[in-house]
Amino acid sequence: MAQDTLTVTDNRTGKVYVIPIRYGTYPEYGASISAMDLRQIKVSENDFGLLSFDPGLTNTETTASAITFIDGERGILRYRGYPIEQLAEKSTFLEVAYLLIHGKLPTFAEFTDWTNKIVQNMLIHESIKKFLDGFHSNAHAMGVFVGTLGAKSTFYPAAKNVLDPKQRMRETINIIASVPTIAAYTYRHSCGLPYVYPDPSLSYIYNFLSMLFRMQPGKEEIYHNPVIERALDVLFILHADHEQNCSTTTMRTVGSALSDPYSAISAAAGALYGQLHGGANQEALEMLSQIGTKENIPAFIERVKNHETRLMGFGHRVYKNYDPRAKIIKKMADQVLEVTGPDPLIDVARELECIALSDEYFIKRKLYPNVDFYSGIIYKALGFPVDMFPVLFALARTAGWLSHWLELMGNEDERKIVRPRQQYVGEDVREYVPMDDRT
């Protein structure tokens, strides 16, 4: 009879170990063993025990989570069980943020209360504006965003009470409410424009557009357009969470030390800044601009295949079929460009995708467009400078980061400070040599 165990023979000692196999709620979604069960495998009493080696944590579960489900082989993404396609079609970002944080869709009364709390907390402390002013006007927007989030920790000392669930929820609302304001002020600062206060009578997204583009010649039409408002709402829904990615793992790691959520989220945003993560949308657009015209695509593809460069916005650690978010964004790019006017880069992107998807190099490695391939084109059409792209991603991902932080903090059994092991490969013990005796 089949048993849910793994039998391991240590050929060094001949000993046999029986290790339990763990399943989550859905056995069909995979199984794992507890890494600590390897520790009993020893060659002698003094041996520390066997560890598993996994740089990049490519095959390691670090938590059980009820937030987001991804099946990378089949291109499936669900938040709290709801398919991303349905949420992108029918929901709003604030409703999705509620869903991620609370685990259920809100009733009308719950949603009204949630929305009111968020829009009424969008104002940021006046001193934060002075802090923002200290950044150079050409500072990278993501650097400003990361720094300002971290600085906010000093304005809310009570946020350190991370073991108090009520305090956690207060800070969660405060952070979701303030990130659009920080993002918009980051943008206004870089343009040398006066800051626009949030208006509690406006929706979350419209507030953001208003804080960005009001009193800016040429941008009025953009922020008054319902297609644009909806496009941004959908982009935020698509970016809101993606289970244990690099920045979310950072959020959980810093959170595990019981740091306040501002410090943790600033660290998470720092991880997202990287060009292999949230910085890829900027890189993808810059790559498309460099390619410039369809004629230059074959030469560029050759460089990629020679490993001289990467096709940015392509490939994913988890999706090995297609990224379901990319499909939705591709369609939306067309709708946005109908409002803002044509952009030749969309033709370059389409052709590049077409050529790459029929090329053996990309087929063999299961490389498909990811969420960042077309999002940059939309952000550019909306008039954002490229360094704002990762900030927009971070703004939306804040809801996901916080839901994971709340899940971690609410789970006393799993809330252990993250402290991985290493395999030491440096020098063995040696005697200190005084400086005069060194050659």
Separation CA 313–CA 359 (nearest Å): 16
Shortest Cβ 314–ligand ACO spacing (Å): 4
Q: Minimum distance from CB of 312 to ligand ACO (Å)?
A: 5
How many residues of this chain bind ligand ACO (CB under 6 A)?
19
Among 174, 186, 259, 370, binds ligand ACO (CB under 6 A): 370
Using rule CB under 6 A, residue 397 touches ligand ACO: no
- 102 to each of 97, 106, 402, how far by Cα in Å? 8, 8, 11
* Span interacting with ligand ACO, options 202-210, 341-349, 367-375, 405-413, rule CB under 6 A: 367-375
Given the rule CB under 6 A, which of 62-70, 92-100, 270-278, 408-416 is the region that contacts ligand ACO? 270-278
Check binding of 304 to ligand ACO (CB under 6 A): yes
Catalytic residue among 323, 372, 387, 404: 372
Interface region with ligand ACO, contact rule CB under 6 A, candidates 83-91, 202-210, 254-262, 311-319: 311-319
Which one among 101, 235, 264, 280 touches ligand ACO, defined by CB under 6 A? 280
CA dihedral of 220, 273, 411, 99, whole degrees rounded to 10: 30
- Among positions 54-93, residues that touch ligand ACO (CB under 6 A) are none
Residue with tokens 């979604």: 29
224 counts as catalytic: no
Under the binding rule (CB under 6 A), the answer on residue 404 touching ligand ACO is: no
Residue 316 found at the interface with ligand ACO (CB under 6 A): yes
Rounded to a whole number of angstroms, the minimum distance from the CB of residue 380 to ligand ACO is 17
Among 79, 114, 204, 314, binds ligand ACO (CB under 6 A): 314
Q: Which of residues 135-194 bind ligand ACO (CB under 6 A)?
A: none
Respond yes or no: is residue 277 known to be catalytic.
yes
Residue of 239, 277, 387, 404 marked active site: 277
Does the active-site annotation cover 404? no
Q: With binding defined as CB under 6 A, does residue 325 bind ligand ACO?
A: no
Stretch that binds ligand ACO, among 146-154, 155-163, 274-282, 339-347 (CB under 6 A): 274-282
User: Residue 182 or residue 329: which is nearer to ligand ACO going by CB?
Assistant: 329
If one asks whether residue 313 binds ligand ACO (CB under 6 A), the answer comes out as yes
* Catalytically annotated residue among 189, 242, 316, 404: 316
Determine if 277 is a binding residue for ligand ACO (CB under 6 A): yes
Judged by CB under 6 A, which stretch of 16-24, 62-70, 142-150, 303-311 contacts ligand ACO?
303-311
Binding site for ligand ACO (CB under 6 A): 276-278, 280, 304, 307, 310-317, 365, 367, 370-372
Catalytically active residues are 277, 316, 372
